[in-house]
């Protein structure tokens, strides 16, 4: 029996973009034999979560402490090529702009260097009750330092 | 014990728009206590499927016979208000434009008359192998008669 | 354009069993061309929710008022035949036993009278914090009157 | 900006059991604030897929070549403790018995060494048309050598 170690599903930053590897399982596909379109939004959500985690606890902890979260306000997606069962995809994520209470992100799902799906999202920071809230300053700084342009919103 | 008859989840056309009622269950929600954003794309997909079904077998049967299907090429969604567990939502759907091999649709998820999510989609007719294919003429005519503008694509 | 009225997805009691109609959409299927096995658990969850709703507000309202909910403690499922895209399935549900803080249910997913999936579940009533809690007496009575055997748990 | 390398979501064999790390994202949770029960079946499915992959191409390639696949025939699950958003879970998987056309598996989802969900599954090897089929001999041998007891089915 093989005794393998840590493997698969890497995450990290490459040239300023965060990259998360995502394997395609049966749950992600549909009877057309390809990845169901809404599954790509789930993959992008996972990638944003891991990107924030990788950006470090100093920025994200204040959000968690205050019960703040990000909700998707807008999403635009171009589905260019189908994904397939067993594909090992990569989600490349960048935060483009950071405002007082929102961020925009560009995310591309790739396979072997080819773009499958390109997404642009606007996320709003909200309180547990769903009200818009200002980003904690530590997180705002972190996103700016990670390359996001600062804007007013 | 109550003996109720047919109930819930109506589908049909109201003022030219197709309306599908969708109940929100636990599976559709997330730990933020609201409908998970990608769930709205699933609701919209159900509504398009039922709209095509309601438009009649004469138009859809040729697609099925040839193994043709629609794939989502583009989707843009504005998430305006959150959905909640047990909500009885309505998906209002219209086909806006029909081309030789594609259609565009506008879909709005409503609750008690208020818009929760507004979507615009472009769908492409494809062969079982995923190649773009011309819409069967019966379906093209049906979509035109249902109010879609005819365009070249 | 057809102008149809209420349609599809009926719910109600037939011979003591609750019956919910469920349409199979792309989201429910996988690349093997059939309904993904975990989707049947989602269908069963929808059916239990509608069954409780159909049993009447008098029994369910006290649960909601106190923030009580049911969690699945045990599930056993036999997958006998595959479901297919566009199938109109029926979920037949019965509560078998009701205890002080739990209920057992038998649920069968059928197509044209044939059993696709047979499930047995144990559900536990819990507080918002996840602690087991006694069923509100109104609901306990309702489940007993709906045919569930009373047991101690 | 941190420059991290490969991280997260390990897979491999530990003491004869296959272990897959699974992160809990919003998509996996529900409005009760915990992992939705059917999500655990998705996690277990991912783990079986990676286990077969880790067992090596020599055993699995013949299945893929002939279009064979595994379908879940039976599943029994005990949900002992809830999973939470952001949990890093482990799915521990063992194949218990291998027959001519089926295998049984025991899978446990753990967090910090504690059992959350214990599952037992029976899987049947099927043709693309859904008919039961004999396991390729290479795979049968591989599963036996991985510790599964050989049985007749």
Tens digit of pLDDT per residue, chain A (153 long)?
Answer: 333 333 345 568 887 899 999 999 999 999 999 999 999 999 999 999 999 888 876 667 777 778 888 999 999 999 999 999 999 999 999 999 999 999 999 999 999 999 999 999 999 999 988 899 999 998 999 999 889 999 998
CA distance C22 to C88: 6
Q: What is the pLDDT of residue A4?
A: 39
Note the pLDDT tens digit of each residue in B25-77: 999 999 999 999 999 999 999 999 999 888 876 667 777 778 888 999 999 99
Name the band, by pLDDT with cuts 50, 70 and 90, for residue C2.
Answer: very low
Cα dihedral A46/A91/A65/D29 (nearest 10): 0
Residues 6+ apart with CB under 8 A from A110: A89, A90, A91, A92, A116
CA distance D13 to D20: 9
Q: What is the pLDDT of residue B2?
A: 38
Do residues D147 and D16 make contact, with C-beta atoms less than 8 angstroms apart? Answer: yes
Report the relative pairing of strands D149-150 and D88-98 from DSSP bridges.
parallel
Do residues C90 and C109 make contact, with C-beta atoms less than 8 angstroms apart? Answer: yes
ipTM score assigned to the predicted complex = 0.91
Do residues C25 and C8 make contact, with C-beta atoms less than 8 angstroms apart? Answer: no
The number of beta carbons lying within 10 Å of the beta carbon of residue C16 is 10
In this structure, is residue C22 part of a structural domain? yes
In this structure, is residue C72 part of a structural domain? yes
In this structure, is residue C38 part of a structural domain? yes
The number of beta carbons lying within 10 Å of the beta carbon of residue B118 is 18
Note the pLDDT tens digit of each residue in C103-136: 999 999 999 999 999 999 999 999 988 899 999 9
What 3-state DSSP class applies to C64? helix
Q: What is the pLDDT of residue B62?
A: 72
Measured in degrees and rounded to the nearest 5, phi and psi for residue A99 equal: -110, -170
Determine, for residues B13 and C4 on separate chains, whether the beta-carbon distance falls below 8 Å. Answer: yes
Q: Scanning every residue of chain C, which has its alpha carbon at the shortest distance from the alpha carbon of A36?
A: C27
> Cα D17 to the chain's mean position, in Å?
11
Q: Taking 60 as the threshold, does the pLDDT of residue B98 lie above it? A: yes
Q: Taking 80 as the threshold, does the pLDDT of residue C10 lie above it? A: no
Rounded to 5°, the CA angle A59-A63-A66 comes to 140
pLDDT above 70 covers a percentage of chain D that reads 91
Q: Scanning every residue of chain B, which has its alpha carbon at the shortest distance from the alpha carbon of C16?
A: B1
Q: What is the pLDDT of residue C12?
A: 80
Determine, for residues D31 and B27 on separate chains, whether the beta-carbon distance falls below 8 Å. Answer: no
- Asked if A88 has any chain B CB less than 8 Å from its own CB, the reply is no
Measured in degrees and rounded to the nearest 5, phi and psi for residue A61 equal: -55, -45
Do residues D92 and A40 make contact, with C-beta atoms less than 8 angstroms apart? Answer: no
**Assigned token pair, D35:** 């992992």
Domain of A142, CATH number, reads 3.10.129.10
Look up the pTM and report it: 0.93
Determine, for residues D3 and A13 on separate chains, whether the beta-carbon distance falls below 8 Å. Answer: yes
Do residues D98 and D31 make contact, with C-beta atoms less than 8 angstroms apart? Answer: no
In this structure, is residue D41 part of a structural domain? yes
Q: Scanning every residue of chain A, which has its alpha carbon at the shortest distance from the alpha carbon of C86?
A: A31
Q: What is the pLDDT of residue C7?
A: 38
Q: Which of B3, B13, B147 sits opposite C3 (nearest CB)?
A: B13
Question: Residues C18-39: what's their mean pLDDT?
Answer: 96
Q: Which of D26, D31, D34 sits opposite B85 (nearest CB)?
A: D31
Q: What is the pLDDT of residue A59?
A: 63
Query: Which secondary-structure segment (H or E) carries D25?
Result: none
**Assigned token pair, D150:** 């050989």
- The count of domains in chain A is 1
CA distance B12 to D46: 39
In this structure, is residue A5 part of a structural domain? no
Determine, for residues B38 and D32 on separate chains, whether the beta-carbon distance falls below 8 Å. Answer: no
Q: Which residues of chain A have a CB within 8 Å of the CB of B76? A: 74-77
Give which of B2, B8, B68 to mutate to test C binding, by max C Cβ within 10 Å: B8
Question: Residues D12-27: what's their mean pLDDT?
Answer: 90
Rounded to 5°, the CA angle C143-C148-C149 comes to 125
- Asked if D74 has any chain C CB less than 8 Å from its own CB, the reply is yes
Q: Residue D47: which of D89, D5, D7 has the closest Cα?
A: D89
- Asked if B83 has any chain D CB less than 8 Å from its own CB, the reply is no
- Beta-ladder partners of D114: D111
In this structure, is residue D4 part of a structural domain? no
Q: Taking 60 as the threshold, does the pLDDT of residue C1 lie above it? A: no
Q: Taking 70 as the threshold, does the pLDDT of residue C94 lie above it? A: yes
Q: What is the pLDDT of residue D1?
A: 37
CA distance A106 to A44: 10
Measured in degrees and rounded to the nearest 5, phi and psi for residue B148 equal: -75, 140
Write out chain A in H/E/C secondary structure.
Answer: CCCCCCCCCCEEEECCEEEEEEECCHHHECCCCCECHHHHHHHHHHHHHHHHHHHCHHHHHHHHHCCCEEEEEEEEEEECCCCCCCCEEEEEEEEEEECCCEEEEEEEEEECCEEEEEEEEEEEEECCCCCECCCCHHHHHHHHHCCCEECCC
Domain that holds residue C89: 11-150
Lowest mean pLDDT among D28-42, D87-101, D112-126, D128-142: D128-142
**Residue C74, CA atoms < 13 Å, CB-side half-sphere:** 11
């Amino acid at each position: 029996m093989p005794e393998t170690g840590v493997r698969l599903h890497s995450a990290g930053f490459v040239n300023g973009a965060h990259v998360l590897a995502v394997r395609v399982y049966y749950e992600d596909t549909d009877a057309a034999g390809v990845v169901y379109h809404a599954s790509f939004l789930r993959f992008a959500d996972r990638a944003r979560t891991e990107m924030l985690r990788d950006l470090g606890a100093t920025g994200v902890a204040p959000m968690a402490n205050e019960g703040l979260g990000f909700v998707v306000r807008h999403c635009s997606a171009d589905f260019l090529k189908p994904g397939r069962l067993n594909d090992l995809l990569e989600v490349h994520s960048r935060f483009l702009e950071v405002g007082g209470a929102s961020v925009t992100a560009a995310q591309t799902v790739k396979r072997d260097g080819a773009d499958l799906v390109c997404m642009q999202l606007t996320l709003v920071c909200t309180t547990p009750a769903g009200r818009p809230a200002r980003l904690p300053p530590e997180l705002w700084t972190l996103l700016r330092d990670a390359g996001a342009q600062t804007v007013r919103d």
